[in-house]
């Protein structure tokens, strides 16, 4: 929306009071639309909007020999490990982490691992 200078969709503004110019020459769309647009954008900005980054929750199953490499890759890609635990009955470890979507491109770096995103 306003923060990225994009069109806003799915937003409704209720105009409670509108005073139009008395001269019909100044009541055309070319004069009213830009002024109204700036006013609506300003009202949207007063609500303190935020830009949120989409994040994947990744589940990675790895043997203990490559865990260090996985942690290095996650830290280089701004990932945060949430949980790590050894799978019962096997030598494999299960790692759960949050990884920003923008940093997840080129997922082939997770060689020898099983990456599933949900």
Q: Give residues with Cβ within 8 angstroms of 41, minimum separation 6.
A: 2
Q: Do 82 and 107 have their domain in common? A: yes
Q: Do 36 and 67 have their domain in common? A: no
Residue 23 to residue 18: CA distance in whole angstroms: 15
Query: Residue 114's pLDDT band (boundaries 50, 70, 90)?
Result: very low
Q: Is the dihedral of CA 113, 111, 97, 102 positive or negative?
A: negative
Q: Do 63 and 34 have their domain in common? A: no
Would the pLDDT of 96 be above 90? yes
Question: Is the CB of residue 74 less than 8 Å from the CB of residue 107?
Answer: no
| Enclosing domain of residue 94 | 55-117
Q: Do 62 and 108 have their domain in common? A: yes
3 or 67, greater pLDDT: 67
- Residue 30 within a domain: yes
Residue 59 to residue 70: CA distance in whole angstroms: 12
Q: Do 62 and 22 have their domain in common? A: no
What would the pLDDT profile of 28-69 be if each residue is shown by its tens digit?
878 778 888 888 888 888 888 888 888 889 888 899 898 888
Range 87-108 average pLDDT: 83
User: How many distinct structural domains can be found in the chain?
Assistant: 2
């Amino acid at each position: 929306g306003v923060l990225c200078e994009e069109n806003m969709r799915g937003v409704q503004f209720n105009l409670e009071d509108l005073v139009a110019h008395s001269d019909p020459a100044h009541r055309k769309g070319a004069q009213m639309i830009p002024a109204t647009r700036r006013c609506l954008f300003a009202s949207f900005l007063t609500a303190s909007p935020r830009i949120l980054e989409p994040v994947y929750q990744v589940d990675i199953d790895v043997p203990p020999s490559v865990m260090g490499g996985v942690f290095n890759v996650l830290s280089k890609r701004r990932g945060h490990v949430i949980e790590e635990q050894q799978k019962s009955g096997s030598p494999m470890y299960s790692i759960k982490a949050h990884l920003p979507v923008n940093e997840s491109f080129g997922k082939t770096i997770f060689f020898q691992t099983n990456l599933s995103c949900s």
